[in-house]
């Protein structure tokens, strides 16, 4: 499995999923159900976008994703 893993392609799929969540139409529901769907879409987008922004490396069969969560412009 590790030999056939294309990390860049995997990260691109996460970026594509984040984009798809942003463009996804909500079904014609209202009230509390709509609120839950909107909240879930935001969580899905956040999760996919964070992983999509990662840089990855595979060493000795271990995939390590490095994700910079610092605010833009910080020198941390």
pLDDT tens digits for range 32-60: 999 999 999 999 999 999 999 999 999 99
Domain count for the chain: 1
Query: Chain-wide mean pLDDT for the chain?
Result: 90
Q: In terms of residue numbers, what domain contains 6?
A: 2-66
Would you say residue 36 lies in a domain? yes
* Number of C-beta neighbours around residue 18 at 10 A: 20
45 inside domain: yes
75 within a domain of the structure (yes/no): no
76 found inside a domain = no
What pTM did the predictor assign? 0.79
């Amino acid at each position: 499995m590790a030999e056939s893993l294309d990390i860049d392609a995997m990260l691109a799929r996460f970026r594509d999923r984040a984009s798809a969540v942003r463009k996804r139409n909500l079904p014609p529901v209202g009230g509390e159900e709509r609120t839950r769907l909107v909240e879930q879409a935001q969580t899905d987008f956040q999760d996919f976008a964070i992983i999509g922004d990662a840089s990855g490396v595979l060493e000795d069969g271990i995939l390590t994703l490095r994700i910079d969560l610092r605010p833009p412009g910080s020198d941390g």
